[in-house]
Each structure stands twice: as C-alpha cells, then as structure tokens.
Amino acid sequence: MLLRWLGVKAFNAYIESLLLKDAFERGFNVVILDWDGIYKEYLPSSNYYGGESLPSLSPSNAEVAELIADLLALSDPQRHYLEMAIDQINDFKDLPGHILQSDTDIAPALARKIRDLFSEGEKLISKTGISYKELGEKLKGISIIDLSAIENAMLKKLYAVIIINFLAKYYAENKREKLCLLLEEKYLRPALIDRIMQESNISLCNF
C-alpha cells in the first residue's frame, strides 16, 4: 500500500480535482480533507461528508491524549494528568468538567485549553463513534470530508489528525488497497503527520 500525499501548493482546486480523478481511475481510494469547503463543486459525484453528516469518530483514550497533547503543546505534567483523566470518564465530552473537579494546580489551565474542543466537538469525537476500521470501509471511492463548518480551529485540526491517524492504521492493515489523501499542510504540523505515518509503516509520496 502506498499513501499518496498531495500538498495544496501551486495547483488550484480545479486542477487538483482532475489529478484526484486520475488517481481514482488508477485504483486509489481518494480522501479529501477540505478545509474551506471548495471541492464539492468540482467533484459533485463524490461521497460528501459535511456538517451533520460528518462521521463521529471513536479514537482510543491513548490516541486522544497523545494527539491533544501534541496539538496544544501541553507540558509533561498536563499530558500525564490528561491521560489519567481520559481513562476515568465515560465520554470525551465529560473531560473538561472532570478535570475541573480536581484540586491539582494544573487542572484549571488544562480545562481551559480543552474546554472549547469538546463543547463543539461532542458529536465529532465520541466513545460511541466509529472505529478506524469502520471509517476506512466508509471512505471508498472519492470522499470529501468538508471541515469548513467546524468553527473551532483547534477542534478542526484535532478532528483532521484523528482521521489521518485512522486512515494510516486502516491502510497499514490493508496493504493491497491504495489511498490518495489530499490535505493542506499549512494547517497541520508536518512533523506530527510524519510521525503518524512512520508509526504505521506507510510510505509517503509527494506529487
């Protein structure tokens, strides 16, 4: 399996759409993380997920803790406490309130950092959502994940990174299938994406 990485740089959306159609015709599943909601116009027959139809994702406790810590640049004590708190809750939406109940010095600042993630993200990231295997099976053909309706910038990044992590795990297990993933590198830390791919033993190809 080869994960094709297409960074949005010189090409406009129309040209990119032509390249993505070509990748699909060559046997790749295509997933577009559409930051600004522009690709549906150019790929009207694609599988479209946006607004209320965005899939609810159920990452593991460890995944959520690690990705939040990386995105928010948490200190080591905050990271450690976050990991413990996630293990003690029934769903991710309960996390800020649970942290605030603690009498530790780091709790108020940590709760403030993550509060907005789960007030808007209650339906997007949930322990009752779909697994990485279910997402991989769902996103066949050409699929657009329209992120433009997610108002919180950090939640948008977290949701996108969880999708990337899910797809990396799915395609690492299903090596006969191929994925072309379109994302805008300027919104995500390349080092974090590289780490996800390396841990999944997935090759990256820029074109």
Q: Work out the average pLDDT over 129-134.
A: 96
Question: What pTM, to 2 d.p., does this model score?
Answer: 0.86
Find residue 142's DSSP bridge partners: 30
Res 154: pLDDT: 87
Return the beta strands (E) in the chain as ranges. 2-7, 28-34, 47-50, 142-146, 178-183, 203-206
Q: How confident is the model at residue 203 (pLDDT cuts 50, 70, 90)?
A: low
Q: Is the dihedral of CA 39, 44, 46, 49 positive or negative?
A: positive
Coil, strand, or helix at residue 193? helix
Digit-coded pLDDT (tens) for 85-109: 889 988 888 888 888 887 788 888 8
**Rounded to whole angstroms, how far apart are CA atoms 94 and 122?**
9
Q: Work out the average pLDDT over 59-71.
A: 89
